[in-house]
Amino acid sequence: MRKIVIAIDGYSSCGKSTTAKAVAAELGYAYIDTGAMYRGVTLYLLEHAIDFADLPRVEQALHEMQIAFKRNRKTGRNELCLDGVVREDEIRQMRISNLVSEVSGIPAVRHAMVRQQQRMARKRGVVMDGRDIGTTVFPDAEVKVFMTAEVLTRALRRQEELAAKNELVPVEDIVENLRKRDHLDSTRTESPLRRAPDAVLLDTTHMMIDEQVDFVLERVSAKLFALASAGWEPKEIK
């Protein structure tokens, strides 16, 4: 079967990662959580007491750190590894959420992560979610989806995720965090969060995960059929 690149962009806590994971599993594709990569960089900088404004030191850190994904055999999920150690729980903490947009806006960080993401998907057959996948990382992705949802809905979802990890955070604090991140992500100079002109909009405010997954899979099926009819042959991404 011909394999394509599926780019899922959008705001935080819209269900991007959960949907992308399920779509990848259904298709037998690789799943790449680009947001986790930026969270990993943020965690590394914090743990090594590196000032975000110290750009030479940040660039040095990018060469020193090793970011990769390791499949958890028990859960079947890919987990972020920082310097060979799984740090999936730590990168999901609110202290990381409060700073990740600031770190991901640093041009050197953005460039380093984009290069790595493009290498990961050079043979296609991937589902990648983030903020700039369809606009910067893979502007020629065959399927692009842009996800959004009402901020309170997103905050309640995020609160439930945190509570499951024994981190209790008032919903008002999460709403404030989401609005701050939305602003930083949408207004940064380097690869701002925006909907690609050819991305289909998916508002998940009143949708269940199964409905979101079906929505994306329907677009994938239609695209694969159209490409096959046109005699399209996939090429390795360079």
Feature table: binding site for ATP: 10-18
5 Cβ contact list (under 8 Å, min separation 6): 121, 124, 126, 128, 138, 140, 141, 142, 143, 237
- Give the model's pLDDT for residue 113: 96
Its pTM surpasses 0.85: yes
Residue 130's alpha-carbon distances to 24, 48, 167, 206, in angstroms, are: 15, 25, 24, 21
DSSP H helices, the chain, are 16-27, 34-47, 55-64, 88-91, 94-97, 100-104, 107-120, 151-164, 171-187, 209-229
Feature table: binding site: 10-18
Give the CATH fold of the 5-229 domain: Rossmann fold (3.40.50)
- Give the model's pLDDT for residue 232: 80
Going from N- to C-terminal start, the domains of the chain cover 5-229
* pLDDT mean across residues, the chain: 93
Residues of the chain with pLDDT under 70: 1, 235-238
- Give the model's pLDDT for residue 238: 59
